[in-house]
Structure 1
Amino acid sequence: MRVLLIQTPQVTRDVISLKGIEMPMNLAYLASGLEHPGDLLSAYGHDVLPESLELREKEPINVRILDLQFYQDPWRILSSEVRRFKPSLIGITSFTIQAKHVDRIAQVAKERDDDVLITFGGPHASALPGKSLSEMPHVDVIVVGEGEVTLLEIAGCVFSKNEGNSTNEVRHHLSKVKGIYYRDAGDKKEIKVSPPRPLIKNLDLIPFPARDKLHLEMYKPLFVNYWRLPSTGILSSRGCPYNCSYCSKAVFKRKFRMRSPENVLEEMRSCEKKYGIKDFRFYDDAVTISRHWVKKFCKLLIDQDTDYTWNAFSRVSDVTPAMLKMMKRAGCYHLKFGVETGSNHILKQINKTTTLQDARNAIKHTDEAGMESLAYFIINFPGESIDSMLNTIKFAKELNATYAMFFHCKPLPGSKLYADAVRDDTLIHTDWEYYGEEDPPVLRNQASYRETRNILRDAYNQYYLRPRYLMKWVKDIALNFSIEKIKRLFDGIKTFMPSRRQ
């Protein structure tokens, strides 16, 4: 049985040129689950459909990943791949800004083979399953939440068709699959909903992502996301216990689950042995949520004298000087912090549960530990004044992090901001292609694009052209000279400065 997993093409229309392509680790997880179903089902810890068990026993699954981010003409590549590979099942993933591509992908695939079953999963699909299916006539199934076991069960249903069942019988089997929205066998306009899919119980037992399905040499992330190449993303936990209003938790929800430090290190060792990878970026919402976990993980890296470099996301309230020094010793060179705003009032409004003083402490202590820091800021929250946005830029300059990035606020599907906007009828449109963080406002209670676009451009110019900032770089390079630091400085200049000028 053949399964084709597809990453949608990029949408590039940024105020800044964020050049970098990340590996679709979600697809690599799906691929490994399909090819090693026994390990996946052990991790899951719940009952599964007999069809998926029969599939495991009767026929191996041949999985390919097609990443359309690389191609100038992705539709020609897609058509050719479907024609050559002849998949029985296609799985597509997408963020909100790329969602417009999903139905076109499905349409191109159906033109080659009308019998192929097409699923759509990921953040956007999980946040708006019914709306997505109604807007995408060529998609058959929406996968909600964690997709590994759901896709395996769907594959079992498709395999039953290969055993002689009709298409309608396959759709009947789909009614037993948890965690999906799908079209009725008799009336394709009618959308059916199955019960929710339970979360995977033991993350340590999930097979490692199938990075061998990706062309690793083609992936070069944004310069702040790696220290040396080759590099890869890695995930040590799923879910986030916090409830910030701008954040979507449609896939992993708020239930926080961690892998053991030993299991994460085992994956890092595997990456080094198989692919020569010794540089990692943690995709977790915040690696530092559990200080006990961080301490144990860093001790493992230090005691085993590993030569790994890594970066991660963190909340500003989670780090301590002692923790940061230990992380530095363990190979961490860079932390990303969601500072968001220069207003304590807005921090409360968005339910961030941090303060400006937390941000000051986090950046200061990270700098003192000898690590880079990246501070993220969001401007134009609903009802935010121009003065408040300007204060955010002022606060960013006060913090003086190694890097800063600024974005327009967008109500992402799955977030409280989006739910509030739907409830209050403040959405201007749902043209997802223009939900990027540098696109015009989509809420009626936001400042105009003319005002905020200029603020966004000025933020970068003000931040990166300051004497204090430039002197920080000169001092850092003088004290800790390395070719990598020089490369990162020039990458930063190329990324942030040329596209600022009009």
Structure 2
Amino acid sequence: MKILFIHPPGEWTIGEQIVPHSPYAPPLGILYLSKILEQNGHDVQVIDFCAEPLNENKLKREILSSDAVSLTVLTSALENSIKLSKMVQKFDKDIPLIVGGPHCSLYPKQSLLDLNAKVSVEGEGEEVILDILDAINGKKEFCEIPAIHYFKEGKIKDGKPPRIIKNLDLIPFPARYHVKDYEYGYVLGSKFAKGNFTAIITSRGCQHNCRFCARNFIGMSQYRERSVENVIKEIKEVIEEGYDSIMILDDNFLGNQKRVHKIMDMLKREDLKIELLLQGRCDSAERSMYKKMRDSGVKGIYFGIESGNQDILDFYNKGTQLDDIRRAVKLSREMGFFTVGSFILGAPSETKQHFENTVQFSKSLPLDVVAFFTLEYAAGSRLWDKAVADGKIEPNEYMVLSDSHRGLSEFTKEEIEAYCKTAHRSFYLRPKYWVDQIIQSTATKNFRLFKAMIKVAKETMRKKFVSLKPISED
């Protein structure tokens, strides 16, 4: 069979403003499935609409030459996913449509209805994708397949209960060659990554349970790691394929420090030359580990800092202390890492003083880039669950901004957005900050990041962001 995988165009929200989702990283979930299918004799085509504009003629051509279509569904791109599903069925009303991804894991049956799909996959798809194709071909019964929901005789039926893949080493590496013509590594239209960029995932799930996190679904609710040897093997493959930099997309790559030490030791010992970017928690900062990271090619770290107030961090169940944050960011600067910190405004108990504390705290840290966001009540998070239980959010409202009109904050969403804009200006419009950036860029001889940072600073300080409307059905 020939299967067409489609990754929908996404959106980011900054306050009330919606901006296009830049081609940040390749759709690894699709690429994992692609490799499995190809190893079992199927043909695969991948279209990433985060990295290329919608071309209906191309889409129609690929659909008509395929035997099945698989569409990734993210909550942030749900509307565009629905539009795409309608296009698929307009071009070929009989082609089987399989939907999966984070939103389907949260709402498998509703996703089946919303996208008028044949099959909805709940959780990880690597173990079931071959069975689904066999069932479409009449070689297997849908009811025998774990983690799926499907239509039969006009009714939604359930497969067997979903299960988690315990040994991640058994999953073949992503088929990156399907996206070799795309360019990734962009944030808000600016490229931060060096040269030919890709991403890897070395673990799934998270050891923590932040109140605002929406990743509480099957496949992400249990933390699992790949072996160090398996990770190094993939990095070698990535280098052989001609990539210059890698983003490690783990929710917290630094959580298991013993494992990080082993990975960095092996990278150094085998002299693997590639730039690494990663995201990690501030309570994982340890000097000897950071030194190994620096010596093994790590160039940047993204920290989800969230707040400059300990009571707000405690409310979020973040599990970090303000001193942890100070130590992690300062140690990162000492190692020469490019650091990004994100902050959230709008927790239910936050006051103007809380907002001011967070802004002043951000300015006290040697961060290269900051981003201030309005708190989102996202489906799947404990924050969202509580608001639904209290009647402040409807169950079908998958993402709601913090707002006093709904009893979610002390401020309206417009007021919080204004504070976010003020926070960006307060951080970036400082002579001290720009002198520091020039000094750092000169010391590291890396003006590429400096130029990209200027563009991001301008974008975050703009009064109006470019709106991204849902894609047209016409």
TM-score between the two structures when normalised by the length of structure 2: 0.90
1: CA distance between counterparts of 2:307 and 2:73?
28
Alignment of 1:322-471 (within 5 A): 322-427=288-393, 430=396, 435=399, 444-446=407-409, 447-471=411-435
| Counterpart residue identity of residue 62, structure 1 | D
Q: CA deviation at 1:102?
A: 2.2
Aligned equivalent of 1:78, options 48, 59, 62: 59
2: CA distance between counterparts of 1:18 and 1:479?
33
Deviations 1:160-207 (A, max 9, x none): 27xxxxxxxx7xx11111101222x22x2x322333322123212211
1: CA distance between counterparts of 2:55 and 2:9?
7
| Counterpart residue identity of residue 490, structure 1 | K
- Aligned to 2:47, the other structure's residue is in SS state strand
1:175 aligned onto 2:138: no
Q: Structure 1 stretch 213-222 or stretch 308-317: which is displaced more? A: 213-222
Higher strand share: 2
Q: CA deviation at 1:118?
A: 1.1
* Contact in 2 for aligned 1:241/1:256 (Cα 8 Å): yes
* Contact in 2 for aligned 1:75/1:105 (Cα 8 Å): no
1: CA distance between counterparts of 2:304 and 2:12?
23
Q: Structure 1 stretch 335-344 or stretch 210-219: which is displaced more? A: 210-219
Aligned to 2:72: 93
1:66 aligned onto 2:47: yes
Aligned to 1:42: none
Deviations 1:223-275 (A, max 9, x none): 8874411010111111111111111222522321111222112111112222x
TM-score between the two structures when normalised by the length of structure 1: 0.85
Alignment of 1:237-256 (within 5 A): 237-249=203-215, 250-256=217-223
* Contact in 2 for aligned 1:238/1:284 (Cα 8 Å): yes
* Contact in 1 for aligned 2:10/2:20 (Cα 8 Å): no
2: CA distance between counterparts of 1:319 and 1:109?
47
1:304 aligned onto 2:270: yes
Are the structure 2 counterparts of residues 492 and 144 from structure 1 closer, same or farther at C-alpha, using a change threshold of 3 Å?
same
1:230 aligned onto 2:196: yes
1:20 aligned onto 2:1: no
1:31 aligned onto 2:34: yes
Deviations 1:390-420 (A, max 9, x none): 2211111112312211111112221111211
1: CA distance between counterparts of 2:101 and 2:238?
25
- Aligned to 1:289, the other structure's residue is in SS state coil
1: CA distance between counterparts of 2:134 and 2:57?
30
Extract unaligned runs of 5+ from structure 2. 464-474
Q: CA deviation at 1:75?
A: 4.1
Q: CA deviation at 1:35?
A: 1.7
1:194 aligned onto 2:159: yes
Are the structure 2 counterparts of residues 429 and 205 from structure 1 closer, same or farther at C-alpha, using a change threshold of 3 Å?
closer
Aligned equivalent of 1:493, options 454, 457, 465: 454
* Contact in 2 for aligned 1:178/1:196 (Cα 8 Å): yes
Are the structure 2 counterparts of residues 34 and 258 from structure 1 closer, same or farther at C-alpha, using a change threshold of 3 Å?
same
Are the structure 2 counterparts of residues 95 and 390 from structure 1 closer, same or farther at C-alpha, using a change threshold of 3 Å?
farther
Alignment of 1:259-274 (within 5 A): 259-274=226-241
Aligned equivalent of 2:118, options 91, 116, 140: 140
| Counterpart residue identity of residue 159, structure 1 | N
| Counterpart residue identity of residue 371, structure 1 | F
2: CA distance between counterparts of 1:472 and 1:35?
50
Aligned to 1:45: none
Q: CA deviation at 1:429?
A: 8.5
- Aligned to 1:312, the other structure's residue is in SS state strand
- Aligned to 1:460, the other structure's residue is in SS state helix
Q: Structure 1 stretch 241-250 or stretch 112-121: which is displaced more? A: 112-121
Q: Structure 1 stretch 320-329 or stretch 65-74: which is displaced more? A: 65-74
Are the structure 2 counterparts of residues 13 and 72 from structure 1 closer, same or farther at C-alpha, using a change threshold of 3 Å?
farther
Are the structure 2 counterparts of residues 18 and 70 from structure 1 closer, same or farther at C-alpha, using a change threshold of 3 Å?
closer
Give % identity: 27
- Aligned to 1:288, the other structure's residue is in SS state coil
2: CA distance between counterparts of 1:354 and 1:440?
26
* Contact in 2 for aligned 1:410/1:441 (Cα 8 Å): no
Query: In the comparison of the two structures, how many residue pairs are matched?
Result: 457
1: CA distance between counterparts of 2:78 and 2:267?
39
* Contact in 2 for aligned 1:477/1:486 (Cα 8 Å): yes
Extract unaligned runs of 5+ from structure 1. 37-55, 162-169
- Aligned to 1:426, the other structure's residue is in SS state coil
Q: CA deviation at 1:430?
A: 4.7
* Contact in 2 for aligned 1:237/1:284 (Cα 8 Å): yes
* Contact in 2 for aligned 1:338/1:377 (Cα 8 Å): yes
Aligned to 1:120: 99
* Contact in 1 for aligned 2:192/2:452 (Cα 8 Å): no
Are the structure 2 counterparts of residues 255 and 70 from structure 1 closer, same or farther at C-alpha, using a change threshold of 3 Å?
closer
Are the structure 2 counterparts of residues 335 and 422 from structure 1 closer, same or farther at C-alpha, using a change threshold of 3 Å?
same
- Aligned to 1:69, the other structure's residue is in SS state coil
2: CA distance between counterparts of 1:16 and 1:195?
39
Higher helix share: 1
